[in-house]
C-alpha cells in the first residue's frame, strides 16, 4: 500500500495536482513506517508517527546501523505529517482561508515526493535486511 501511494504521488505530480502529491507522499511514508512499527508489535492510529518511531524503532539496538538514516526519516515523518492536513483541508491563516489547491507549487510538491521516496527506500531496506520482507 505504501508503494501504491508513492506511485499515486508521482502521477499527481505529473498531472500538476500538487496538494494530492503532498497527501499521497505523506500517506506512503506513514504506511511504510507503520509497517516497521507493526514488526515490533506496535501500532498507533495516528498520522504523525515520528515520536513513536523514535521510541520504538530508533531506541532499539537492533536498528543502530541505520541511525543516521533514521534521523532524516524521523524529521521527514514529522514534516510530512505537518503538511498532511494542510494538503487535505482549507486552513485559516492570517484571516484568510487558504485552499490546499492554492498552497502548493510544483517545486514544493517535487521536494515532498523526494522526501517520501527517501523514507520509503530506507524503511523498505530495513524491512528487508532486519525482517526479511521485500515489499
* Domain limits for position 115: 2-131
> What's the start-to-end Cα distance of the chain, in Å?
10
Hey, CA dihedral for 21, 23, 26, 29, is it positive or negative? negative
**88: domain CATH number?**
1.20.120.330
Task: Phi first, then psi: give them for residue 48, nearest 5 degrees.
Answer: -95, 100
Q: Is the pTM of this model over 0.95?
A: no
86 by Cβ neighbours in 10 Å (0-12 / 13-18 / 19+) ranks as middle
Cα distance between residue 53 and residue 96, in whole Å: 35
Count the domains in the chain.
Answer: 1
Q: How far apart are CA 13 and CA 78, in angstroms?
A: 21
Per-residue pLDDT tens listing for the chain (135 residues)? 899 999 999 999 999 999 999 999 999 999 999 999 999 998 888 888 989 999 999 899 999 999 999 999 999 999 999 998 888 899 898 999 999 898 999 999 999 999 999 999 999 999 999 999 876
Amino acid at each position: 500500500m505504501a508503494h501504491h501511494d508513492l506511485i499515486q504521488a508521482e502521477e499527481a505530480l505529473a498531472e500538476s495536482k500538487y496538494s494530492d502529491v503532498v497527501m499521497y507522499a505523506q500517506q506512503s511514508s506513514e504506511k511504510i513506517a507503520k509497517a516497521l512499527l507493526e514488526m515490533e508489535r506496535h501500532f498507533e492510529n495516528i498520522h504523525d508517527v515520528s515520536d513513536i518511531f523514535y521510541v520504538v524503532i530508533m531506541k532499539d539496538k537492533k536498528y543502530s546501523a541505520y541511525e543516521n538514516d533514521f534521523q532524516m526519516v524521523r524529521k521527514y515523518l514529522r514534516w510530512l505529517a505537518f503538511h498532511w492536513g494542510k494538503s487535505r483541508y482549507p486552513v485559516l491563516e492570517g484571516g484568510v482561508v487558504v485552499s490546499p489547491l492554492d498552497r502548493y507549487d510544483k517545486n514544493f510538491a517535487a521536494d515532498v515526493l523526494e522526501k517520501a521516496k527517501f523514507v520509503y527506500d530506507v524503511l523498505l531496506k530495513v524491512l528487508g535486511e532486519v525482517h526479511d520482507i521485500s515489499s
